[in-house]
Amino acid sequence: MRAVLCGYYGKGNGGDEALLAALLQMLPPQVTPLVLSGNPAETATRFGVEVCDRMNAAQVLQALRRSDAFIWGGGSLMQDATSAVNPWYYGGLMLTAQRMGLKTIAWAQGVGPLHRAASRWLARQAFVGCQGVSVRDRPSAELLTAWGVPVTLAPDPVWALQGRPVPGLWDLPAPRVAVALRPHAALTEARLHTLGRALAMFQQATQTHVLLVPFQPVQDGAIAQTLHSHLPDHSTVLTLTDPLQLAGLFQGVELAIAMRLHGLIMAAAHQCRCFAISYDPKVSRLMDEYQLPGWELDHLPDDATAISRTWIDLYANGDGLSTDQLAAIGDRAAIHRDLLAQLL
C-alpha cells in the first residue's frame, strides 16, 4: 500500500518535522510513504522516503493517482489564524483524495482556530469524509463531535517520538537550560528585551548554560541571536534541523522555557521542568492538561526581576512529569499508531 503524507513538511519547522518523524515511526510496515514536501530533496535525504513538491499540482495529482491512502500527518493544519489559505490548501487536497477514492485519514490533528465561516464549512466537509480521525486535544474532539465526526482523542504523537543523541551536547557546560521562542505580534521588542534581561538574571543566579534553540531557524534565529546578546559568554545558539536530534536534546537539559508547542512536549517527555509562554490556544491547552506553569504572552510581566524569580523558583523547586505520568501518556499517544494499523 502507498500512502500520501500531507502536512507542513519541508518548511524548516522542527515541530512539524517531528510530527513527520513520529508518523513514519508509527506507519505499519506494509505501507510505503510518499511525502508532500516544501523541500523535497531535503526530506528525501533526511527520512529516506519518496517525495514530491507540495506546491506542484501536477506532481501532487500524479502522487494521488498512484496511491491508496491520503493522510493529514499531524498538527494544526485546518486553521485560518496564520493564513486564510491554509484550510483551502489542506482541505482541497483532502476532498480531492476522497473524490479519487483514496482511503483518507486525519491523523493527530489540532483543529482551529477557524475564524471564517467558509473555513469552518470546508473543514467540516473534509473531516466528515475521512475513514478515520484522531485529534490531540479535547477542544478539537468536542468540535468534531459536534459536527457528527467520529473521533479518537490521544496525546500528540511527538510524546512517543524516539529521539537520537546530539553530537557535542555533552561538551557544553552543564547544567543546561533550553529556550525556544518564536516571533509573534505580541512578542514586541520591549517584551523580548525584558525576557533577555530576565534570562541574564536567571543565568547569573543559577550558573546554568543557556541553549537558545530556534525550532524554525528562518523565523526564530533572530530572536535566538537577540537573547544571546544578553548573555554572550553563557549561552549557545544551537540550530538543529534533524527532528530526532531536537527530541534527543532534552535528555541533557534541566529546564525548558518555550513558546514552541513541540519544544514543550519534547522537554516534558524527557522529565524536564517546563515553563510555557503561550501565544496560541494549542499551547494553552497543553498547559492546562499537564499543569505546566507559564504565562499567556499577552500577560507577560513587565518586570524582568519578577520573571527571573519565577524561573529560579521553578528551577530550584519544580518537578518534571513523573515516570508513571509519562508511561501513561506514551501508552495513550500510541493510540495514533493503532488507528493507522486498523485502517491501513
Mean pLDDT in residue range 316-327: 97
Angle at 132 between CA 242 and CA 93, to 5 degrees: 65
CATH 3.40.50.2000 domain range(s) in the chain: 169-327
Position 247 scores a pLDDT of 96
CATH 3.40.50.11930 domain range(s) in the chain: 2-153
Residues 6 or more apart whose Cβ sits within 8 Å of residue 335? 134, 152, 154
Consecutive H or E run containing 157: none
74-95 pLDDT, tens digit each: 999 999 988 889 999 999 999 9
Average pLDDT, the chain: 96
108-159 pLDDT, tens digit each: 999 999 999 999 999 999 999 999 999 999 999 999 999 999 999 999 999 9
Task: Look at the domain 2-153 and name its fold.
Answer: Rossmann fold (3.40.50)
Question: Rounded distance, CA 344 to CA 338, Å?
Answer: 10
Position 325 scores a pLDDT of 97
Angle at 86 between CA 191 and CA 27, to 5 degrees: 100
Answer yes or no: CATH 3.40.50.2000 is held by domain 169-327: yes
Taking residue 218's Cβ as centre, other Cβ atoms within 10 Å add up to: 10
Kindly provide the residue ranges of all beta strands, DSSP E only, lying in the chain, ordered along the sequence: 2-6, 32-37, 50-53, 69-75, 103-109, 132-135, 152-153, 176-180, 209-212, 235-237, 255-258, 273-278, 294-296
Position 223 scores a pLDDT of 98
